[in-house]
Homo-oligomer: A and B are copies of this chain.
Amino acid sequence: MSTALLTDHYELTMLQAALRSGAAHRRAVFEVFARHLPGGRRYGVVAGTGRVLDELERFRFGDEEIAFLREHRVVDDDTLAFLSEYRFSGDIYGYREGEAYFPASPILIVEGTFAEAVLLETLILSIMNHDCAIASAASRMTNAAGKRPIIEMGSRRTHEQAAVATARAAYIAGFASTSNLMAGHLYGIPTAGTAAHAFTLLHDSERAAFEAQIASFGAETTLLVDTYDVAEAVRTAVELAGPRLGAVRIDSGDLAAAAQEVREQLDSLGAFDTRIVVTSDLDEYAIAALAAAPVDGYGVGTSVATGSGVPTAALVYKLVARETATGKLEAVAKRSVGKPSRGGRKEAYRLIDRSGHADTELITTSGLIPEDAIPLIRPLMIDGEVVGREPLPAARARHAEAVSLLPLEALHLGRGYAAIPTEFA
């Protein structure tokens, strides 16, 4: 299915006017960056780049799309002729998925003619504003959880397709699995889940429900124990499944206190290896508060799917350079009040201090390559062909490494400034 109409009306009217003025064919450089990290976050996490590459391959104006644009007189016939032949033939560079970013980091750079690059603004920003917001929130949660695994289970709290992208972004940021089957199908992310309260309520008793679940999935399953009385449910669960019961899930109440009681009860029943999974409106703060509780895993829904208070990453797509009438590439930037932009095609490096930690995000237009620096910008698409596709586990590993290189302050959950300063050279 074509992605071409996932685009703002004005991208096409700009194209029409620029085709008329002749400026449409000027070479242009657009950059995706965040002026600030919303929510007082210490770092952002790049995600969505792989989806951008996938969706650009389907960014074509076919008969159906052209017919709509013609019928609604969105643009004129010359512009429709251009669109029907449209195929992005330029270059895209950017930070790779899983990498950390900071204010002004040029996480995606699109180079082509103005005509071909301006059309991609909406789709690229939609994908990256969503996926970076999710990954940035998810990264805080995996930091807070330490070695304990987190299941992403927020599908029901967000748009049905955003749910699939949520699972993908959370997986990059270190989540262990997802409840979302489409994410398993499309991206190979492990899927997980056993039962909801409805399953217990369906049966004539909690005992009958547990029996049914164990009969079908074995003693290794996870039983949900808070439909009626938790202590009674745990007693029944171990009675039916024996000490090999895989896990119990608690989905309400004071989770720290409940986990403590359930752990003691499980141990007293000899179910020493039965794990405790907790869910119920968890976010990074709640996870951190459970660090000392006897919890073996978390399920996180609403907060990860909504970016934990920051549902969009405040990324913008700005023209930073374009060809002049004389054929020279010239830096440009608007001067709108309160919306700082810097012209010129950037390179970006992360400078590492003697302790091995990142200490500066260096953004440069000089062309000079600093020493002891990690180059952050890699080719993703050259002459319209994808060159930067990579498997999801690579992005996940990069995230883990990128976070490990940040100064410890980056892991503080409170509001503050970026963990390292951005400098311009």
Contact = CB atoms under 8 A, between A and B. Distances in A.
B114 A129 contact: no
A252 interface: yes
Contact of A23 (B122, B164, B203, B312): B203
Contact of A193 (B13, B153, B319): B13
Contact of A306 (B13, B157, B180, B312): B312
Interface stretch (A93-101, A213-221, A350-358): A213-221
Given A192-B9, A312-B302, A30 B159 contact: no
Contact of A155 (B122, B194, B325): B122
A202 B324 CA distance: 8
Contacts of A123: 160
B337 A212 contact: no
A20 interface: yes
A194 to B, nearest CB: 5
Given A9-B191, A160-B123, A185 B20 contact: no
B252 A159 contact: no
Contacts of A213: 17
Interface in A314-361: 317-319, 322, 324-325, 332-339
A317 B21 CA distance: 55
Contacts of A156: 8, 121-122, 125-126, 129, 317
Contacts of A215: 17, 20-21
A269 interface: no
Contacts of A162: 130, 158-159, 161-162
A54 to B, nearest CB: 11
B3 A204 contact: no
Interface string A195-238: 11111111110001101110111000000001111000000000
Contacts of A121: 156, 196, 198
B21 A212 contact: yes
Contacts of A209: 21
A336 to B, nearest CB: 4
Contact of A312 (B69, B127, B158, B227): B158
Contacts of A114: 198, 202
A291 interface: no
Contacts of A217: 13, 16-17
Nearest to A312: B157
Contacts of A333: 201
Residue from A1, A17, A130, A209 with most neighbouring chain B CB atoms (10 Å): A17
Interface string A39-73: 00000000000000001000000001100110010
A388 interface: no
A18 interface: yes
A103 interface: no
A9 B216 contact: no
B322 A201 contact: yes
A141 interface: no
A146 B80 CA distance: 37
Contact of A208 (B3, B21, B337): B21
B193 A227 contact: no
Interface string A1-14: 10101111111111
14 contacts: A8-B156, A13-B217, A14-B195, A21-B212, A23-B203, A74-B184, A129-B158, A130-B160, A157-B312, A159-B162, A161-B162, A201-B332, A202-B319, A226-B334
Given A201-B319, A228-B335, 14 more contacts: A5-B185, A6-B155, A7-B181, A8-B155, A17-B213, A18-B212, A21-B215, A118-B199, A122-B179, A126-B159, A127-B160, A158-B159, A201-B333, A252-B337
Interface of A: 1, 3, 5-14, 16-18, 20-21, 23, 26, 28, 30, 55, 64-65, 68-69, 72, 74, 76, 114, 118, 121-123, 125-127, 129-130, 153, 155-165, 179-182, 184-185, 191-204, 208-209, 211-213, 215-217, 226-229, 251-253, 302, 305-307, 311-312, 317-319, 322, 324-325, 332-339
